[in-house]
Every structure is written in structure tokens, then in C-alpha cells.
Amino acid sequence: MRYLHSSVVVSLLLQEATTGAVHRLLQGLVDVELAISDWGRLEVLSVLAQGFRTGALTGVDKRELFGRLEVLIRSSLSVLVPSAADYGEAQRFVRTPEAALRGGDALHLAIAANHGADAIYTLDKGMLKAGRLLGLPVERGF
């Protein structure tokens, strides 16, 4: 299973500098389970809502964009539900000062690790560095 951090999912939904590379990466993964967490879904929704609030997403239909997210999740991603063990592992991760992890990113890493992810894809440089420091299979993928 490959876990997609919210930054990767946002890149799939919006036209960003990384969008083409993310599409190519995921298209190259044949017969591989891709996953997001309920926490990741909430983060993506929050990023999109903030874009609408701030005017960064002008000319984009809200319903259509939120609908595309749900279609992407239903058609292509398994959804992992955070457990008490995931929160415990995230707490352990944030207690590693060198990792400099925010709580949300620690939870992403914990969920992915506890569910046996072969790779954790992220575009977040801080999370990439922290995950590697913690010995997790974190990568950009391209």
C-alpha cells in the first residue's frame, strides 16, 4: 500500500507545478493500493475551503471541485481510519525534537506506518525530512 499525504491529493485536484509529475507517478503504479486517511481527507477539504475563502480559487466551481475529491477517493483510494494506536504513535513521533513534526503530519506518518505502507508520498519538505529521520519510507516519488 502507498499512502498519499494531503499535499499529493491537492496537487491532483489543482493545477500546481507538481501536478504533472504526480499524475505520472501514480499512473506508473499498476496494481498498487493507494490510500488516504480520514484525517488526510479533512486536510484536503480544509485547503480547498481556504482557497475559496481567500479568493485563491477564483473561477473554480466549489461543488465540482469537492465532488472531484470524493470521486477520486471513491474510485482510486482506500480510506484509513485513525485509531488510538495511530494517535499514540504520532505522539511518539512529535516527542522526537529533531523531527520538528507538526501534530497533523505526525498523524499522517503514524497512520501510514501502522497500516504497513510501503511508501508514503508527500510534497511537504519538512514531513519528508522528518519521516526519513524516523526511518519511515517517505518519498516524493519523482
**What Cα–Cα distance (Å) separates residue 78 from each residue in 47, 58, 93, 116?**
20, 30, 24, 13
* Per-residue model confidence as pLDDT tens digits over 73-113: 999 999 999 999 999 999 999 999 999 999 999 999 999 99
Query: What letter would DSSP give residue 99?
Result: G
The domain spans of the chain are 2-139
| Averaged pLDDT for residues 121-137 | 97
* Per-residue model confidence as pLDDT tens digits over 36-64: 999 999 999 999 999 999 999 988 899 99
Given 3.90.550.10, 3.40.50.1010, 3.30.420.40, 3.30.70.990, which CATH number is that of 2-139? 3.40.50.1010
Three cell numbers at 88? 499514540
Answer yes or no: is pLDDT of 141 > 90: no
Which residue stretches of the chain are H helix?
6-13, 19-27, 38-54, 62-76, 84-94, 103-114, 125-133
* Per-residue model confidence as pLDDT tens digits over 22-34: 999 999 898 999 9
